[in-house]
């Protein structure tokens, strides 16, 4: 799809999310369009049912199908399989980063944290569907840096039962941090504080 169609879409299929993760969804993207979602098995989203923006706020509703053979059920924990709660938080970060790109933000996405996380339930192998409901409370393009930041409050549900509450999850898109020549050693082959 072309870039203007991408920015006008209000939903995305699994195939489109996978194409985005591989960098193949948008044909005529701007040069600094570098954001991706993780590839499986780290991709925690199967479909985006609704994505919209009103001013500097927005909404994302997305789902992931629970699979009996999900990799984490085989190791977390032996004899007591449960999806790690951190993967639900990562799913929220993945979606907020996608929201930034969908809104026209350019650069490479990075999770920046969250203020509060509460787990009141769990995801097990015979559950059916994980649902993410994210209210974007602030979206901002930062002047002079080319960076973009979005902050959202999220509820994660399994089979319509709310199990996680995540407050002020924050994701940014940043220019000039892309490490496209991996695995070669280069100027961006080491981590540390961004901007240093």
Taking the C-alpha atoms of residue 137 and residue 153, their distance in angstroms, rounded to an integer, is 7
- CA gap 123, 184 in Å, rounded: 38
Is 76 among the residues known to form the active site? yes
- The residue from 47, 76, 131, 170 that is catalytic is 76
C-alpha to C-alpha distances, 54 to 5, 25, 92, 132, 135, nearest whole angstrom: 18, 24, 19, 19, 11
- Identify how many contiguous H helices and E strands the chain contains and give both numbers: 3, 7
Write out the catalytic residue numbers.
76
């Amino acid at each position: 799809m072309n870039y203007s169609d991408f920015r006008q879409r209000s939903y995305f299929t699994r195939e489109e999310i996978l194409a985005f993760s591989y960098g193949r969804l948008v044909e005529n993207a701007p040069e600094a369009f570098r954001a991706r979602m993780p590839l499986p098995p780290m991709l925690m989203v199967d479909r985006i049912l609704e994505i919209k923006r009103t001013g500097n706020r927005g909404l994302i509703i997305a789902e992931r199908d629970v699979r009996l053979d999900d990799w984490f059920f085989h190791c977390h924990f032996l004899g007591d399989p449960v999806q790690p709660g951190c993967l639900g938080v990562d799913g929220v970060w993945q979606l907020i980063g996608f929201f930034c790109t969908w809104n026209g933000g350019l650069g490479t996405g990075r999770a920046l944290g969250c203020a509060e996380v509460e787990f009141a339930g769990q995801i097990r192998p015979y559950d059916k569907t994980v649902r993410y409901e994210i209210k974007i409370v602030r979206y901002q393009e930062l002047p002079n840096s080319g960076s973009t930041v979005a902050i959202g409050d999220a509820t994660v549900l399994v089979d319509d039962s709310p199990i996680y509450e995540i407050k002020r999850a924050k994701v940014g898109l940043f220019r000039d941090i892309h490490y496209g020549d991996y695995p070669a050693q280069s100027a961006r082959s080491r981590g540390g504080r961004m901007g240093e």
